[in-house]
Chains A and B, each alone.
Chain A
Amino acid sequence: MREPRGRIRCVLTSLALCAAIGLAPVRAAAAGLKITPLAAGLTYENLSRTVVWKGDADSAKILANLISARADLGFGKGIVVSLSAGLALTDFKRLSFASLPVSLQYDAPPLAGFSLGVEALAPLLKFSDFEISGTGRFVCSFGMSKTWPIEGFVVEGKAAGSTSWAEAALGPRLSYLFFGRVVPYVEVCARWLAAGFEMTETLGDLVGNETKRVRGDFSFSAALGADVAVSDRIAVKARVGIVPFAGGTDSLLSVGILYKF
């Protein structure tokens, strides 16, 4: 079963962002702005978030691995917008569905789905060898669904789950430009996460449905990263960060290799 509203909203948001970027050259041309395809490549991302699903007392973890194709577009004045699309593997550790007739506890392999993302970076201020930029990012994963048999009961049973999630991040980035080909940076972001997991259980003629949600879970992250120009054409981008919360720390990691046009 899907979460129609959440999923549609996520897809529409991504499509709107893609359309906006796609239409941007036309508008930009009319406005006299020049849009340049800068680079394209592949990125890998790993992120973990500890959340409390609505109605639960215990926390649970969302662990996601994303592999995406990525394109960077330049909008002049140093503004770069990146679009990405790919596959996501998401694990929902310690998630339980306690309101179903037969309670379910998730200990299954990660669910595979699709991901769409958009990221923007805009320089705001430059002084000496430092530059402060504003950065924003939105990524969503959808299309994850699976059916499991429920065994051991007198009648046949199954559980069907579907899930989607989306994360947005916004914050400043402080880059050090001294090294030229290597640009290290520190980034601090406010992060927002929404997720939904709908589980439908069927046991003979006994049917139950439970939807778990995380609506707008806020946290902050701190990350260290570097953009490295390996050659005139090849660039590597890497970032590693933490998302602290009371009682622990989540992590994020991303690595990308891009071919510059």
Chain B
Amino acid sequence: MTTPSRRSARAAAALLIVLCAGLGMSHEGLPRQMKRVAPARVRPARAFRAEGPAARRLRPIYAADRVLVRFRPEISEAYADGLLRSYGFPIVHRIGAIGVYSVKTAAGASVAETLAMLRRNGDIQVARPDYRARLADIPNDPYFQNYQYSLRNRGGILNVSPDIQPQMTSGADIKATTAWDVTLGDPETVIAIVDTGVDMTHPDLSGKIVSAGHDFANNDDDATDDVWHGTHVAGIAAADTNNGVGTAGVARNCRILPVKVTDANGDGFYSWIIDGIIWATDHGASVINISLGGSVPDPFLEDACKYAHDKGVVVVAAAGNDGIASVTFPAAYDAYVLAVTASDYNDAIAQFSSFGPEVDVAAPGVWILGPAPQWYVGEGGLPYLFASGTSMASPHVAGLAALIKSAKPGLAVDDIMKLIRYSADDVNKTTLPGRDDHAGYGRINMTRALAPFILK
């Protein structure tokens, strides 16, 4: 766009011319359910045109000075032309093959006003904004289309395995694809995965890892996953996306900082988690995801969460998988942590989700496909698996928090937490309208949180 000086210079030239012319892991350490992706069900990669990741910025979702109009079939072309010109539209372009007119709005008239005016005319069948098209917004990751219902749910059957094929409800998702129109995330925005570590050689993660992280169980600088859980969680939050491999992540361009706080059995102590939270905060994390927790409150754990929060880090944690009225810690530290329960492919809250007044939001956490270490799935197996738990719900929210941080770096942590809460869909409003202890404010809605609201 023009700067004043450039503009003035060009204007002067033009003027001359014119004048001359939970570890879903409860603390027992196991996910509620898990399932590997059966090789027989793998679809070949679709032949998408692979564009490089484009820098996105906030743009209007439709043209500010143009609308599309179609007349009723019985209206003649000549009459339609005359009618549109009688409205005073300066430019009218007819798309003859489908009988649609592209109409430039009159000076000073908004799109909303123009549409309202046109729709009052009985001769006009349809009048719509001229919406902006998206370029390669649907990632070419082969499992995105058919398995990642959490990001875009088009209904149909979720083919988990021959004996697990639930029917899905179209639209029961977090509205990721339209939110990606606004931002794909900033690589400088880092999500710390405080978990069992991350498989840093995984093809869907290797390009997204900031550093080898830190292992607080073994006290070294190698946070390699020796369970599977942290790898899966990291992939949900920010798997390499549009790379033609595996799955898509919520925060497509954001990066991952692995922080290992459990041993090889998946067991960890509060002290390791506390160290992990503080280490991640001090090593550049913008968002911390904690898909694990314990049943006992601890002031030191709370202090660690407060430390991160006060340093401008959004902390997101799984509510727990015990299905009881007790949210695990640190998710229950309401002032500093977003507590996340799990919803399913029909927007129902999963029965295993723990609940309570600390629950902030829900996110998909039933049969979520994500990356897994190759050694875990075995030789020849695809390094992905389905898993369920609030552990899988939490990284969806962490990904959204990272995208908000990317798009609005000036927003305070508390404001990001409120935005995530208030922009949610109240999925259980028929039984529990408003905020409740099971879904919190509702299942997160990325588009509502990120896309501009149109003032009319």
A and B from one complex: yes
- A binding-site residues for B, Cβ under 8 Å: 46, 48, 52, 56-59, 63, 65, 89, 91, 93-94, 96, 98-99, 101-110, 148, 150, 152-155, 157, 159, 161, 186, 188, 203-206, 208, 216-222, 242-247
Task: Evaluate contact between A242 and B18: CB separation under 8 angstroms.
Answer: yes
1/0 per residue B81-112: CB within 8 Å of A? Answer: 00000000000000000000000000110111
User: A72 vs B289: C-alpha distance in the bound complex, in angstroms?
Assistant: 70
* Contacting residues, chain B, for A106 (C-beta < 8 A): 455
* Contacting residues, chain A, for B456 (C-beta < 8 A): 107-108, 148
User: A9 vs B147: C-alpha distance in the bound complex, in angstroms?
Assistant: 60
Selected A-B contacts with CB under 8 Å, 6 pairs: A52-B3, A101-B408, A101-B419, A103-B182, A103-B450, A246-B6
Choose one: A57, A96, A208; the contact of B1 (CB below 8 Å): A57
* Contacting residues, chain B, for A208 (C-beta < 8 A): 415
Which of B59-67, B191-199, B235-243, B247-255 is near enough to bind chain A? B59-67
Check: B19 CB closer than 8 A to any chain A CB. yes
Task: Evaluate contact between B4 and A107: CB separation under 8 angstroms.
Answer: no
* Contacting residues, chain B, for A206 (C-beta < 8 A): 415, 418-419, 422
Number of residues of chain B lying within 8 A (CB) of chain A: 53
Choose one: A65, A109, A186, A203; the contact of B110 (CB below 8 Å): A109
* Contacting residues, chain A, for B58 (C-beta < 8 A): 96, 98, 103
Closest to A60 in B: B64
Q: A154-B423, A220-B8 are in contact. List 14 more A-B contacts (CB 8 A).
A: A52-B3, A59-B1, A98-B452, A102-B423, A103-B451, A106-B455, A107-B112, A109-B110, A109-B112, A148-B455, A154-B421, A219-B7, A244-B14, A244-B15
Choose one: A57, A99, A220, A244; the contact of B410 (CB below 8 Å): A99
Task: Evaluate contact between A52 and B1: CB separation under 8 angstroms.
Answer: yes
Task: Evaluate contact between B1 and A153: CB separation under 8 angstroms.
Answer: no
Task: Evaluate contact between A108 and B107: CB separation under 8 angstroms.
Answer: no
Closest beta carbon of chain A to B436's beta carbon, Å = 11
Closest beta carbon of chain A to B49's beta carbon, Å = 26
Closest to B13 in A: A244
Task: Evaluate contact between A219 and B8: CB separation under 8 angstroms.
Answer: yes
User: A47 vs B454: C-alpha distance in the bound complex, in angstroms?
Assistant: 25
Closest to A108 in B: B455
Task: Evaluate contact between B60 and A243: CB separation under 8 angstroms.
Answer: no
1/0 per residue B1-44: CB within 8 Å of A? Answer: 11110111011101100110000000000000000000000000
User: A110 vs B424: C-alpha distance in the bound complex, in angstroms?
Assistant: 32
Given contacts A59-B1, A107-B456, A222-B18, A154 and B442 within 8 Å (CB-CB): yes
Check: B154 CB closer than 8 A to any chain A CB. no
* Contacting residues, chain A, for B10 (C-beta < 8 A): 244-246
Task: Evaluate contact between B108 and A153: CB separation under 8 angstroms.
Answer: no
Task: Evaluate contact between B11 and A245: CB separation under 8 angstroms.
Answer: yes
User: A208 vs B414: C-alpha distance in the bound complex, in angstroms?
Assistant: 12
* Contacting residues, chain A, for B454 (C-beta < 8 A): 104-105, 107
Closest beta carbon of chain A to B362's beta carbon, Å = 12
- B binding-site residues for A, Cβ under 8 Å: 1-4, 6-8, 10-12, 14-15, 18-19, 57-61, 64-65, 107-108, 110-113, 182, 407-408, 410-411, 415, 418-419, 421-424, 426, 434-435, 441-442, 448-456
Task: Evaluate contact between A57 and B57: CB separation under 8 angstroms.
Answer: yes
Closest beta carbon of chain B to A22's beta carbon, Å = 33
* Contacting residues, chain A, for B408 (C-beta < 8 A): 98-99, 101
User: A93 vs B66: C-alpha distance in the bound complex, in angstroms?
Assistant: 12
Task: Evaluate contact between A108 and B112: CB separation under 8 angstroms.
Answer: yes
User: A48 vs B18: C-alpha distance in the bound complex, in angstroms?
Assistant: 18
Task: Evaluate contact between A93 and B65: CB separation under 8 angstroms.
Answer: yes
* Contacting residues, chain A, for B426 (C-beta < 8 A): 154
Task: Evaluate contact between A94 and B64: CB separation under 8 angstroms.
Answer: yes
* Contacting residues, chain B, for A150 (C-beta < 8 A): 453
Task: Evaluate contact between A101 and B411: CB separation under 8 angstroms.
Answer: yes
Task: Evaluate contact between B418 and A222: CB separation under 8 angstroms.
Answer: no
Task: Evaluate contact between A218 and B113: CB separation under 8 angstroms.
Answer: no
* Contacting residues, chain A, for B442 (C-beta < 8 A): 154
Choose one: B59, B107, B453; the contact of A58 (CB below 8 Å): B59
Task: Evaluate contact between A96 and B7: CB separation under 8 angstroms.
Answer: no
* Contacting residues, chain A, for B18 (C-beta < 8 A): 222, 242, 244
Task: Evaluate contact between B2 and A246: CB separation under 8 angstroms.
Answer: yes
User: A247 vs B7: C-alpha distance in the bound complex, in angstroms?
Assistant: 10
Task: Evaluate contact between A96 and B60: CB separation under 8 angstroms.
Answer: yes
* Contacting residues, chain A, for B3 (C-beta < 8 A): 52
* Contacting residues, chain B, for A219 (C-beta < 8 A): 7-8, 11
User: A102 vs B64: C-alpha distance in the bound complex, in angstroms?
Assistant: 20
User: A77 vs B449: C-alpha distance in the bound complex, in angstroms?
Assistant: 64
User: A110 vs B61: C-alpha distance in the bound complex, in angstroms?
Assistant: 20
User: A216 vs B8: C-alpha distance in the bound complex, in angstroms?
Assistant: 12
Task: Evaluate contact between A218 and B14: CB separation under 8 angstroms.
Answer: no
User: A218 vs B449: C-alpha distance in the bound complex, in angstroms?
Assistant: 37
User: A96 vs B452: C-alpha distance in the bound complex, in angstroms?
Assistant: 8
User: A105 vs B455: C-alpha distance in the bound complex, in angstroms?
Assistant: 6
User: A150 vs B1: C-alpha distance in the bound complex, in angstroms?
Assistant: 30
Closest to A205 in B: B418
Closest beta carbon of chain A to B116's beta carbon, Å = 10
Choose one: A108, A157, A188; the contact of B15 (CB below 8 Å): A188
Given contacts A109-B113, A159-B455, A153 and B8 within 8 Å (CB-CB): no
Closest beta carbon of chain A to B20's beta carbon, Å = 11
